[in-house]
Amino acid sequence: MQKLTRIITLSVSIAVISGCSYVGVYKRDIPQGNLVTAEMVDQLQPGMTQEQVTYVMGRPLLEAPFNENQWDYVFWLDKAYDDVEKRRVTLTFDNQDRLVDIDREGDLTGDLPLDTDGRRGPATDTAEPGDTIPNERTQNPTPSPATMTTPGT
């Protein structure tokens, strides 16, 4: 009986002590906002229309509520174990919706270590890596001529 009590006490003690160890907290990079690169901003030229700017840069994250002629493209990358990287591009348009000013903040030339893995959602044990994103071919497969039959055959 004493031996069983020692084994149980030792097992419980090991279980409790193992919970006290510090391995570290998993952190990941958190990108937020419009991704802005130097290549995108270099394509902008004064005189471009808002539609042309939207084609190059996408829709802005922020449109100034009191100045409809100002668009702000803001990007933050909260690096897991490092500082926050901030990028901001403010575009100003005239009354004819033509680009007149480009204001840049942050280092637009630096590469961003973004995870470009296209997989989304939970993966199952039997799923292939590409099976997590439905595409048009898997949702609406087009029958091949070999599998098509005519009525009455």
**For residue 7, is it within any domain?**
no
Domains held by the chain: number: 1
CA atoms in the 13 A half-sphere facing the CB of 22: 1
End-to-end CA separation in angstroms for the chain: 81
pLDDT of residue 139: 47
Find the domain containing 57 and state its range: 30-111
Average pLDDT over residues 110-130: 52
Using alpha carbons only, what angle is made at residue 110 by residues 101 and 103, rounded to the nearest 5 degrees? 10
**For residue 44, is it within any domain?**
yes
Taking the model in full, what pTM does it have?
0.55
pLDDT of residue 80: 76
CATH code assigned at 91: 3.30.1450
Average pLDDT over residues 22-38: 78
**For residue 69, is it within any domain?**
yes
SS3 121: coil
Q: Say how far apart CA 79 and CA 88 lie, in whole Å.
A: 17
φ, ψ (nearest 5 deg) of residue 16: -70, -45
**For residue 95, is it within any domain?**
yes
CA atoms in the 13 A half-sphere facing the CB of 66: 0
